[in-house]
Amino acid sequence: MTLFEQILAKIKQYNTIIIHRHMKPDPDALGSQLGLKEIIKHNFPDKKVITPGYDEPTLAWLGQMETVSDSDYLDALVIVTDTANRPRIDSSSYEQGDFLIKIDHHPNDDAYGDLIYVDTDASSSSEIIADFAMTLQLQLSDEAARLLYAGIVGDTGRFLYPSTSSKTFSIASQLRNYHFDFAAIARQMDSFSLKIAKLQAYALSNLEIDENGAARLVLTQELMKKFDITDPETSAIVATPGKINSVEAWAIFVEQPDGHYRVRLRSKSHIINGIAKRHAGGGHPLASGANSYSLEENEIIYQEIKALLKNSPEP
């Protein structure tokens, strides 16, 4: 029995299924979580499927979260999508279920769960969920196709990132056959508010770049208040430095209310997740996240990026 078949067998076995994803969700987190729910409900309408978590206002167009009670976890199947490690799961209640399945595309550094399906070659967890349904010939609704397509588009940067494979295009093509406004998804992901536009301008004007293409930008709480933006909204400028042809790898340091920094690391070709792992983080080889607890640690991270590019100019 394949892992996909094992996952389906567990879904068939349980009457209540609770699907979690990571904190501070992106389109893939919500696409895989809500898309899987739609697939299960479409094929097994009598099952109770709950998708709890924080409602991110900027992604309300994808869907809304639901309330879950402790009693719901009794004899329930819990599935966690798009979450590499346990501390990032949105709510610790996931541990209260009867059986736990992990479905993810990040490096499996934290192998939690009773059943684990991790495919690091997949562009996104939404691609994995779509592959799961198509491989096992489960029926997809138009809404499931919309959610999974949005998740794939989000995590591939509209099919621009290296993780985009021929399989990604094949699955996206099959999803496109369903009835949903794919152009609206593209517009949604390609547009931003005036305040984000002003933040983009600030980023381009204040980005520090060294001679080897290492770049950094620091967003303080004071600056975020000035631009009236929240931490999740800063994700809109994560790709901005990469549009500059002389930039090869970069870090965006976002100060949190408690004073520590959320660090978003990106690279065009040099593997940077090793840096993330050394600073309470992890992720994909070219797209990772970390945490810094002082200005000194911010400087150390930037120096590590500079050293990486200086010592290996051509990966």
List, for residues 61-117, the tens digit of each pLDDT value: 999 999 999 999 999 999 999 999 999 999 889 999 999 999 999 999 899 999 999
Beta-bridge partner residues of 79? 19, 101
Q: pLDDT tens for residues 266-279?
A: 999 999 999 999 99
State the pTM of this model: 0.87
Q: Is the pLDDT of residue 26 over 60?
A: yes
- Report whether 240 contacts 202 (CB < 8 A): no
Three-state SS for 206? helix
Q: Which residues are CB-neighbours of 183 under 8 A, at least 6 positions away?
A: none
pLDDT, the chain, mean = 95
Bridge partners of 216, per DSSP, are: 208, 251
Predicted confidence at residue 312, as pLDDT, reads 78
Q: 189 φ, ψ to 5°? A: -80, -15
- Set out the domains of the chain in order of their start, with CATH numbers: 3-189 (3.90.1640.10), 194-311 (3.10.310.30)
pLDDT band at 315 (very low <50, low <70, confident <90, very high): low
Distance CA 73, CA 287 (A): 33
Query: What span, in angstroms and rounded, lies between the C-alpha atoms of 196 and 187?
Result: 15
Angle (nearest 5°) at CA 234 between 163 and 214? 60
Measured CA to CA, the distance from residue 80 to residue 108 in angstroms comes to 13
Buried b (16+ CB within 10 A) or exposed e, 162-184: ebbeeebeebbebbeebebebee
The whole-number pLDDT of residue 282 equals 87
pLDDT over threshold 80, residue 314: no
